[in-house]
Amino acid sequence: MLNNILKVYGEDLASGALNQASIAAGTGIAAGSTQGALCVNAFAVGDVATTAAVTITVKHSDSESESFTDLLTMSVAADQSFADGDLMATATLPADVKSYVTAAVASATGNSGSIRVTLGYLPR
């Protein structure tokens, strides 16, 4: 399993073009009680170039209808280039994550390409 990334499809935490100031959080995805077996991955969609830093804020909540609070932050530095499908950033969800997670992305109009933030399985 070295160098393999197990992807979850159809359950994006956030996705969109990086030439926007922000990408709104997607629908909450069930991730609680996973005992540290999940991570959050940010993938390049198309060729990506960052002229300004990109910040990905992962949020969590006890239910889909409650407000989400910040859980962790991932960053992609300025002046980076990624090919389609490249992993841009990753972070492991802590064991005490609440039942649902989502993510919001802060970007800049000078960035190009798109991003897909999704859950991933950690190989055991």
| Ranges of each domain in the chain | 6-121
Average pLDDT score, the chain: 88
Residues 6+ apart with CB under 8 A from 3: none
Is pLDDT above 50 for 1?
no
The answer to whether 21 and 109 have CB atoms below 8 angstroms apart is yes
Burial status of residue 48 (CB atoms within 10 A of its CB: 0-12, 13-18, 19 or more)? buried
Q: Which CATH number fits domain 6-121: 3.40.50, 2.60.120, 1.10.3210, 3.30.1910?
A: 2.60.120
DSSP string, 29-67: EE-TT-TT-EEEEEEEEEEEEESS-EEEEEEEESSTTSP
**Tokens 């950690």 belong to residue:** 122
Is pLDDT above 70 for 117?
yes
Torsions phi, psi of 27, nearest 5?
A: -65, 145
- 59-105 pLDDT tens trace: 999 988 889 999 999 999 999 999 999 999 999 998 889 999 999 99
Q: Which residues pair with 112 in a beta bridge?
A: 49
Sign of CA dihedral 39, 35, 63, 57: negative
The confidence score (pLDDT) of residue 122 equals: 76
What is the spatial distance between Cα 109 and Cα 106, in angstroms, rounded to a whole number? 10
How confident is residue 31, by pLDDT bands cut at 50, 70 and 90?
A: confident
